[in-house]
Amino acid sequence: MGSRRTTGEKIFSIFNIIFLTLLSLVFILPVWHVLMASISDPDILQANSGLALRPWGQPTFGGYQFVLSNKNIIRAYGNTIVYVVGATAFSMFITILAAYGLSRKDLYFRKPLLFLLTFTMIFSGGLIPTYMVVKGVGMIDTMWALIIPGTVSVYNIIVMRTSFSTIPDGLLEAAKIDGAGHLRILLQVVLPVSKAVLAVIVMFYAIRNWNAWFNASIYLQKRRDLFPLQLSLREIILQTSNNSLVTESSDPGAIDRYRPLVKYSTIMISVLPMLVVYPFIQKYFVSGVMIGSIKG
């Protein structure tokens, strides 16, 4: 490669690298801005709303101290962890069982079952009837509303099924001859050789649940104490309301003083877990997209 590159190609190469470097900055800059704003002097920050390339004024961790000592935000953080773990565990349970069944070529009713699932990808009852069903089963204002409805993804089931069906038949046959039943084959043969796809799907479910806010906003009506972090964030950032901040022990003076910082500090603590794990899981990310693109 590159033995006979023309001048035009060299110029293109240089511009390409400059362009991609600038593009990378565009991806990083907004997050950097939030980070710098979160440790700025609240008074100076209040007056400047331009891009924060470095902290405005003397760096301070006052915003973080306020956020981390605010009971409402800590509770919302805890709720989010419950939702992420609960919804991911529940969805994985359904997804694994469904994928195992559907990956068996000798299964009767495989086609109609697949149709039952994929049809929901192209037609849905929509927002209102779904809301009424959730209300009908009594999940409104309970944590279940964010763990069960709308969490299982057909796409993820199909990805996992495609992956399971590439396991050599010989491996499954051998286990069967050894007298293993389906549950044992699933737990001791299929799952151990499918660690990569399991990691990918857990990751997709976990990211989605960590970042979800909409269902919480319609299913949690009277229970502010069950709010996930994203919903509190919405109030703090977008509705500029203090509802998510005020507790019986909070000092109104501190709220007013740190109000401009709280928004940025809360964003930072909400994206921090994602920022920490993403460089490590992004390679699974790539393989996940690839497994999904194989037509099953």
Partner 1 sequence: MANAAVAPSRALKDQEKKLKRHLIKRDFSQNWPVYLMLVPVVAYFIIFHYLPMGGLAIAFEDFSFRSGFFGSQFVGFKHFENFFSSIYFGRLLSNTLILSAYGFLISFPLPIILALLLNEVRQPRFKKTVQTISYLPYFISVVVVVGILQDFTKSNGLLTQLVVALGGEGGNLLGKPEYFRALFIGSNVWAHIGYSSIIYISALSGIDQELYEAARIDGAGRWKQTLHVTLPGLAPTIIILFIMRLGEVMTLDYEKIILMYGPGTYSTADIIQTYVYRVGLVNGDYSYAAAVGLFNSIINFIVIFVANKISSKVSETSLW
Nearer to partner 1, 51 or 81 (CB): 51
Q: Of how many residues is the chain composed?
A: 296
Nearer to partner 1, 112 or 253 (CB): 112
Alpha-carbon distance of 39 to 222, in angstroms, equals 34
Alpha-carbon distance of 120 to 192, in angstroms, equals 30
Nearer to partner 1, 226 or 267 (CB): 267
Q: Which residue has the tokens 């037509």?
A: 295
Q: Cβ of residue 225: shortest distance to partner 1, in angstroms?
A: 19
Instruction: Give the closest residue to 242 by CA, choosing from 220, 259, 223.
Output: 259
Q: Cβ of residue 69: shortest distance to partner 1, in angstroms?
A: 22
Nearer to partner 1, 252 or 283 (CB): 283
Nearer to partner 1, 6 or 249 (CB): 6
Q: Cβ of residue 75: shortest distance to partner 1, in angstroms?
A: 18
Nearer to partner 1, 133 or 251 (CB): 133
Enter the DSSP assignment of 295.
-
In DSSP notation, 241-290 reads: -STTT--TT--HHHHHHHHHHHHHHHHHHHHHHHHHHHHHHHHHHHHHHH
Q: Cβ of residue 207: shortest distance to partner 1, in angstroms?
A: 6
Q: Cβ of residue 62: shortest distance to partner 1, in angstroms?
A: 19
Alpha-carbon distance of 103 to 93, in angstroms, equals 16
Token digits for 69? 């000592």
Q: Cβ of residue 25: shortest distance to partner 1, in angstroms?
A: 9
Q: Are 157 and 117 in contact (CB under 8 A)?
A: yes
Enter the DSSP assignment of 189.
I
